[in-house]
Amino acid sequence: MEGIHKHIMPDGSEHYHSHKHTKAVLNRLSKIIGHLESVKKMVESGRDCSDVLIQLSAVDSAVRSVSRVIIKDHLENCIVDAVKTGNTNAITELEDAIDKFLK
């Protein structure tokens, strides 16, 4: 299953393209949400802080993993399409997004 994304071009026209990994990303995010809910229950039940930290580390790793998939997919689809159509704003937007992501 591919996700179709709409982008507004600088001239106001619309551009559509697909992402190959949308279903996988959604599945991973659902698992991360479930894992984080489990961590919340651990905290509510008074579980040992070390156990909670280990699980939070696993959640953090999973989020970073899915982030890499999204970045790669964005480069392979959005940025390639933007370059082909002359949308230089897409590069600036990616730079801003990476700056925020890496904070």
2-42 pLDDT tens trace: 556 665 655 665 656 567 888 899 999 999 999 999 999 99
| pLDDT range class, residue 1, cuts 50, 70, 90 | very low
How close are the terminal C-alpha atoms of the chain, in Å? 32
* Total of domains in the chain: 1
Helices 49-74 and 89-102: angle between axes, nearest 10 degrees: 170
pTM metric for this prediction: 0.76
Range of the domain at 64: 3-102
Contact 20, 73 (CB under 8 A): yes
* CATH code for position 81: 1.20.58.1000
Here the tokens at position 21 are 């990994």
Q: What confidence tens digit (pLDDT) does each residue in 43-67 have?
A: 999 999 999 999 999 999 999 999 9
